[in-house]
Amino acid sequence: MIPHHHETDPNPPRPLNRQDYRTLALAALGGALEFYDFIIFVFFALVIGKLFFPPDMPDWLRQFQTFGIFAAGYLARPLGGIVMAHFGDKLGRKRMFTLSIVLMAVPTLLMGMLPTYASIGIAAPLALLALRILQGAAIGGEVPGAWVFVAEHVPARHTGYACGTLTAGLTAGILLGSLLATLINSSFSPAQISNWAWRLPFLVGGVFGLLAMYLRQWLQETPVFAEMQARKALADELPLKTVLRQHKRAVILSMLLTWLLSAAIVVVILMTPTYLQKQFGMDAATTLKANSLATIALSAGCILAGRIIDRLGSGLTFIGGCLLLGACSHYFYSSVASDGSQLYALYALTGFCVGIVGAVPFVMVRAFPPAVRFSGLSFSYNVAYAIFGGLTPMAVSLWLRADPLAPAHYVVSLCGMGVVLGVYLLLTESPQDAGSTSTPH
């Protein structure tokens, strides 16, 4: 059985106040900007490939290397996340929260100023790779750090809502990237984009990131960490060592939930526009509009999932949410195959159901005790995301050769796993966890 760790709560049961909403807003804004900075690279990968690699290089190799640089960001996530979480458990959540945004904003700004291959030769792709690794390290610390930060700020019965809102902020960052990419592609000619306009989204992201860092100064350390510090209850040894020795079940549960989260986001939100273009010959503009709608619906779904998990507890929320996502995604992919007329409505509905991922951090935050919470969550989430986030596109692409509905079947099979995890959570959560209205000790 996985123990649910409730500290003597320095946040007594109370409604959310102005300070809570301000903390949530600042955390979600910073998260959105960091995610935007991390993702904007994808939207300009073709242009970047042409500018940063030798012009005589075969096209497929250039593509491969550009995406390799993108993937390096994913591989750097566990390392950055584990190091930052270590200090987050030792020195405080707030310091790491500010550091992660600097680590993201500065490389993004520098990417926008990098000389290209034509000016400095092989140094150009190497510099790009180094900056991308820094970005990956930053996002590895940001996402788990932000979840822990907001969960420890609000009263326990609003943990789900806080985590869901923050997750909605992260997905808004993806939307921001896609909207800005669309704007730049429709405002400038390909020659202008190639000459200088591709730099704009990076410069904008870097400046906004530094602004978000300035705003984050107004956040306060979490009451939970402040209390542990006062009681000298911080981890004695390396927090990660304690996690791996004493909390294996919590790590496995968190990794499986991260697999569900990464699969739903990567397949339904990130891969589907290209899939619709290749598989059914839809035009890029239509699929991107539909994708923007689905992403907006996803943000709303995350907040709702957080609200529901606060009321019903994690077991019922995951059983219901995964059944719904499995049914909707199957219906979406199979009906778009025969009739594209309902694309917008069905994609938006499926995106809304992906919102179940907004309930994932609630379970992860509660699975680890406060002294090693940041390290436990960060290790599980980042390692699982590096593996599954990286392998999912490859697995689905290979599966597509044999099965045109591969994305649907992949998502449905993971929803099946989600239902099983939901049953497990239902059997192991204590009665007061389900819809707790007071803070259990």
pTM greater than the 0.75 cutoff: yes
Which residue, 344, 39, 343, 377, is CA-closest to 181?
Answer: 39
The CATH H-level (homologous superfamily) assignment of domain 18-433 is: MFS general substrate transporter like domains (1.20.1250.20)
What value does the mean pLDDT take over residues 402-427?
Answer: 95
Whole-angstrom CA distances from 363 to 218, 278, 399 are 28, 37, 31
- pLDDT at 183 (0 to 100): 87
* pLDDT tier, 437 (very low <50, low <70, confident <90, very high otherwise): very low
| Mean pLDDT, the chain, integer | 86
Summarised one tens digit per residue, pLDDT across range 313-330 is 999 999 999 999 999 999
What value does the mean pLDDT take over residues 242-247?
Answer: 86
Q: Please determine, for residue 148, whether its predicted confidence score (pLDDT) is greater than 60.
A: yes
Summarised one tens digit per residue, pLDDT across range 188-226 is 898 999 999 999 999 999 998 888 888 877 777 777 777
Higher pLDDT, 390 or 134: 134
- pLDDT at 237 (0 to 100): 67
Measured from the Cβ of residue 1, the count of other Cβ atoms closer than 10 Å reads: 9
Higher pLDDT, 346 or 143: 346
Rounded Cα distance between 85 and 11, Å, is 22
SS3 for the chain is: CCCCCCCCCCCCCCCCCHHHHHHHHHHHHHHHHHHHHHHHHHHCHHHHHHHHCCCCCCHHHHHHHHHHHHHHHHHHHHHHHHHHHHHHHHHCHHHHHHHHHHHHHHHHHHHCCCCCHHHHCCHHHHHHHHHHHHHHHHHHHHHHHHHHHHHHHCCHHHHHHHHHHHHHHHHHHHHHHHHHHHHHHHHCCHHHHHHCHHHHHHHHHHHHHHHHHHHHCCCCCCHHHHHHHHCCCCCCCCHHHHHHHHCHHHHHHHHHHHHHHHHHHHHHHHHHHHHHHHHHCCCHHHHHHHHHHHHHHHHHHHHHHHHHHHHHCHHHHHHHHHHHHHHHHHHHHHHHHHCHHHHHHHHHHHHHHHHHHHHHHHHHHHHCCHHHHHHHHHHHHHHHHHHHHHHHHHHHHHHHCCCCCHHHHHHHHHHHHHHHHHHHHHHHCCHHHCCCCCCCC
- pLDDT at 371 (0 to 100): 85
* pLDDT tier, 439 (very low <50, low <70, confident <90, very high otherwise): very low
Going from N- to C-terminal start, the domains of the chain cover 18-433
Higher pLDDT, 10 or 141: 141
Q: Please determine, for residue 435, whether its predicted confidence score (pLDDT) is greater than 80.
A: no
* pLDDT tier, 235 (very low <50, low <70, confident <90, very high otherwise): low
Percent of the chain's residues with pLDDT above 70: 93
- pLDDT at 7 (0 to 100): 45
Amino acid identity at 152: E
- pLDDT at 6 (0 to 100): 46
- pLDDT at 311 (0 to 100): 95
Summarised one tens digit per residue, pLDDT across range 13-40 is 778 888 888 888 888 888 888 888 888 8
Joined together, the tokens standing for residue 166 give 């923050």
- pLDDT at 318 (0 to 100): 97
- pLDDT at 299 (0 to 100): 95
Lowest model confidence (mean pLDDT) among 281-290, 371-380, 404-413:
281-290
What value does the mean pLDDT take over residues 377-385?
Answer: 92
What value does the mean pLDDT take over residues 144-160?
Answer: 90
Residue whose token pair is 């242009």: 47
Percent of the chain's residues with pLDDT above 90: 40
